[in-house]
Amino acid sequence: MTTGELFRPDTVKILKTLAKNRVELIDSINELRKKYPDEYVAFHENEVVGHAKDDNALRSSLLKKYGTIEHIAIQFISSKELQLIL
């Protein structure tokens, strides 16, 4: 198997959508922290499309609902505001 065979035709589109969803999730993090403290949140097209305390449960429910979830940004939303120091 070569690396080229691993790319699906829509891989670029999926990656762009995933990154946009991630940025929109970051932009909404304070609002999400109030609504979904200490939960995993799934974000797509500026909307919460799922949330759960357990990430595996969330992924399973999203898979049932959407079929594929590679383009959806999923993140644990800590109730405590954490400063990322790099």
Partner 1 sequence: MKIEGYIAKNGEIIIPALLIVQEMGIVKEMTFLLDTGAASTIISEGDADAMGLDYSQLEKGTPALGIGGVADVYILKNARLAFVSGEWLIVKIIDRLEVIKHNVEDPIIKKALKSLPSLLGRDALGTRFGIGSDGDNVTIDF
Write the interaction track for partner 1 spanning residues 24-63; mark x where CB under 8 A is met and - where it is not.
Answer: --xx----------x----------------x---x----
Cα separations in angstroms, 3 against 7, 12, 13, 14, 25: 7, 15, 18, 18, 31
CA distance 56 to 41: 12
Residue numbers of the site for partner 1 (CB under 8 A)? 1, 3, 6-7, 11-12, 14-16, 18-20, 22-23, 26-27, 38, 55, 59, 70-71, 73-78, 80, 82, 84-86
